[in-house]
Amino acid sequence: MPQTHQKPTHSQAKKPAGKILGGPLWLLLLLSLLSPLPAQANELKQHLSPYLAMHGDDPVNWRNWSADVLRQAQRQNKLIFISSGYFSCYWCHRMHQDVYVHADAAAVLNRYTVPVKVDRELNPALDAYLIDFARRSTGRAGWPIHVLLTPDGLPFYAFIYQPKERFIGIIQRAARLWQQQPARITQAARKALQLPQPYDPKAQPTLTRNTLRQLFLTQLQARMDDFSGGLKGQQKFPETPLLLNVLRLKNLPEPIRDWFNLTLEAMAQQHLRDHVDGGFFRYTVDPAWHTPHYEKMLYDNAQLAELYLRAGKRFQRNDWIQIGLETLDFIQRRLYNPKTQLYVGSLSAVDAHAEEGGNYLLSPQQLQALLTPEHYRLVAEHWQLDLPGPWEGRWLAQTIDDPRWPAIRQRLRQAFTPPPRDDKQILAWNALLINAWVAAADATGDPVWRQQAKALYQRLYTLLLQSDPPRALGENGQPIGGAMLADHALLLRAARALEQDTTTLQRLTEQRFLTSVGWKLSGIPLLPGMTGSTWLPDDDLPSLTALLDVHAPSRLAGAEPAIHQSPLASGSYLWALPTP
């Protein structure tokens, strides 16, 4: 990442020789001493990350995350302010427009902090560290996440979206407290720090696969939503790694099998899925899968395609196989970059006018202009266009069980303007697509899918074999960032699905990321407490530690306390632990 070299302070500048002090140069030097130093440049302009680049014209003196940030903060005795988000996030765009483009908010940040902007997709290790701190210290987290750190890099305060005046107040109060009581903040931050402990290299796991299965299913039955599918909660996420682990279990209890079927039906039929352009949205903001949060992510759609294809084959559901294939078609149409033969990360939740969901919501007037009178009458009847529109007078398309629906969908798709896309091609997320293509080959018997999977695997494998492999590629193939643990672990998972030799990739992964306390998420962690972990949960992605530690008894033993505490988030360990 680009570095900004600091100009010397006035105290560091050399005095001019005495013999020229009476000449014109003396006056120029005096004027320069009386003038303010030039402002620190915003480092994000024209960054290869669309998320970071959109902050490139902010009046904030944004820094890229690096060791130099810590050095600057210590030299100037300033707090570090880290803001982490991503391009397809609606609230990240809101924070940008509501706060960072305004001179008064920027002035406060520039005066009291060293401000850092992070693309969470390029640096998931730092983002996970910040999110974990926010959850432990406040009980909540989300994006954009903001964390204030001491100049030594100790986090002490976290918050999510705030309007401008409240944001300015938070920064001013934190700076005042740091100026008045730095020892108190440092002491509290050190006390809250969680440092991982070394695992015992001679330990053996006592937990078996059957025991974890019982714990996993018991917690699932307590958490599953029997009415709407998915897990209980105010929002509904696809929870795809969890569902894939359920699918792999044999002899499912009937209540869990019924819940599994209900969940796949609800996700496919309600508004988690885009019924016009294809693909799945990130999540819904309500428990009935009704109102989506409109970003579409490659990692969600690749995993959901695999889920529907594998579930369709197991339960002989051709309609589910078709949903999986349609999701792969969406990925190919909207996310493929022919310049690199890789797939970009996401489509934004906001349209070109910064309106959330604006590309997907349709008014009756738009529908009348797009459809024939016959097709409009059909849509009006089924979508109840005579009632007030659920989304401020507009509707989100839903499938109609009628032979005329495919023609209607095709007309709406032709008129659809896709939202802005984040054109980073992240290696880890592309690796997930390999597993989806293998599932397509298994479900359809078409060998072309497996051939595609092998070609993509070889492309990613070649990138990771480099001495300094990238986390992602830019639109024209430029390397961005450094490869993370997820890029290696998910390619290992893909290699197993393709029955490729994994020896070299496993060795490289251990050399780059394994420590005495477990797995580092990134190659060069800069903050205390980022040194490693023996357990990572199933979340948006499958557990990386479970994928890597299949043949590592000592690290599996080190993960056992966390598995017992969170069995539902440890489903991937069902395939890593020994059988009884």
Tokens coding 482: 């450094």
| Residue partners of 64: CB distance under 8 A and separation at least 6 | 1, 2, 3, 43, 44, 47, 52, 116, 117
Q: What is the pLDDT of residues 350-373, one digit of tens each?
A: 988 888 998 999 999 999 999 999
Please list the helix, strand and coil fractions of the chain in percent, rounded to the nearest 5, in that order.
Answer: 50, 10, 40
Sheet holding 296-297, edge to edge: 296-297, 346-347, 421-422
From 29-38, 90-99, 214-223, 364-373, the region with the lowest mean pLDDT: 29-38
Is pLDDT above 70 for 44? Answer: yes
| Residue 88: per-residue pLDDT | 92
Q: 381 or 525: whose pLDDT is higher?
A: 381
Give, as one character, the DSSP assignment of residue 576. T
* Structural domain count of the chain: 2
Within a domain: residue 391?
yes
What is the number of alpha carbons within 13 Å of residue 72 lying toward its C-beta?
25
* pLDDT for the residue numbered 41: 84
Q: Is 524 in contact with 170 (CB distance < 8 Å)?
A: no
* Domain end position, chosen among 392, 414, 436: 414
Using an 8 Å Cβ cutoff, are 523 and 126 in contact?
Answer: no
Q: What is the mean pLDDT of residues 40-68?
A: 94
Say if CB 441 and CB 453 are below 8 A apart.
yes
Nearest Cα residue to 93 out of 422, 453, 429, 510: 422
For residue range 80-130, what is the model confidence (pLDDT) as tens digits? 999 999 999 999 999 999 999 999 999 999 999 999 999 999 999 999 999
Last-in-domain residue among 373, 388, 414: 414
Helix (H) or strand (E) holding 22: none
Residue 570 lies in a domain: no
- What pLDDT shows up at residue 311? 98
**Residue 5 C-alpha from the chain's centroid:** 31
Q: Compute how many other C-beta atoms are within 10 angstroms of the C-beta atom of residue 388.
A: 7
Does 505 have pLDDT greater than 80?
A: yes
* Residue range(s) defining the domain that contains residue 385: 361-414
Q: Does residue 64 lie in a domain region?
A: yes
Is residue 244 a part of any domain in this protein?
no
**Are 148 and 79 contacting, i.e. CB atoms less than 8 angstroms apart?**
yes
How many CB atoms sit inside 10 A of residue 522's CB?
A: 22
Q: How confident is the model at residue 269 (pLDDT cuts 50, 70, 90)?
A: very high
CA diameter of the chain: 95
User: CATH code at 187?
Assistant: 3.40.30.10
One-letter amino acid of 202: K
* Of the candidate ranges 20-24, 192-196, 272-276, 537-541, the one whose mean pLDDT is the lowest: 20-24
pLDDT tens for residues 388-433?
Answer: 889 989 999 999 999 999 999 999 999 999 999 999 999 999 999 9
β-pairing, 421-422 with 346-347? antiparallel
| pLDDT of 544 over the 90 cut | yes
Higher pLDDT, 463 or 5: 463
What's residue 36's pLDDT? 40
- Residue 529: pLDDT band with limits 50, 70, 90: confident
Residue 18 above 90 pLDDT? no
SS3 category, 257: helix
pLDDT in tens, 117-168: 999 999 999 999 999 999 999 998 999 999 999 999 999 999 999 999 999 9
Length of the chain: 580
Last residue of one domain, picked from the residues 414, 444, 475: 414
Q: Report if residue 371 sits inside a domain.
A: yes
**Span 253-261, average pLDDT:** 97
Whether residue 287 is contained in a domain is answered as no
In this prediction, residue 85 carries a pLDDT of 97
Task: Identify the bridge partners of residue 356 per DSSP, sorted by sequence position.
Answer: 350
Tell me, yes or no, whether 44 lies in a domain.
yes
User: Residue 55 falls within a domain, yes or no?
Assistant: yes
Radius of gyration of the chain (CA): 26
CB proximity list for 297: less than 8 A, separation 6 or greater? 88, 282, 345, 346, 429
Q: What is the DSSP code (8-state) at residue 412? A: H
CB under 8 Å to 377, separation ≥6 — which residues? none
* Structure tokens that stand for 255 in this block: 């209540």
